[in-house]
Amino acid sequence: MAEMENSYSGAPSAVQGSVCAALVSAGLGCFVLGLTDVLADASQAMNKAFNIYNPTGALSGETTLAVVLWLVSWFVLERMWTARAPKLGAALGAALAMLLLGLALTFPPIVDVLTGH
């Protein structure tokens, strides 16, 4: 019976670049959502600027901006990292850091401290 060859060379693959792009862009989207939440709470002008649908208020613009930046960053990073991917651990660490920061920025006691309420 012929032995199967191990084709893993240790070099980052296009799949790894795609995974890194997805992770980092998702983290960025979460961070942008948290940041826009703080900005909308801190400034009446920003609150009005983010209000693109009255029944939901500023949240409509906050989520729209976060989703658009998530998709654009995913597209750009996918193109950049298909041929030369960063280390998976670094991408995962950056994604988790941005996710945790974004989550913290939506937590009311933290928002109150940052906005002075």
For residue 96, which amino acid is it?
Answer: L
| Entry pTM | 0.83
Nearest of 42, 41, 59 to residue 50 by alpha carbon: 59
What's the chain's average pLDDT?
89
What's the confidence (pLDDT) of residue 83?
Answer: 82
The pLDDT tens digits of the residues spanning 27-67 come to 999 999 999 999 999 999 999 999 999 999 999 999 999 99
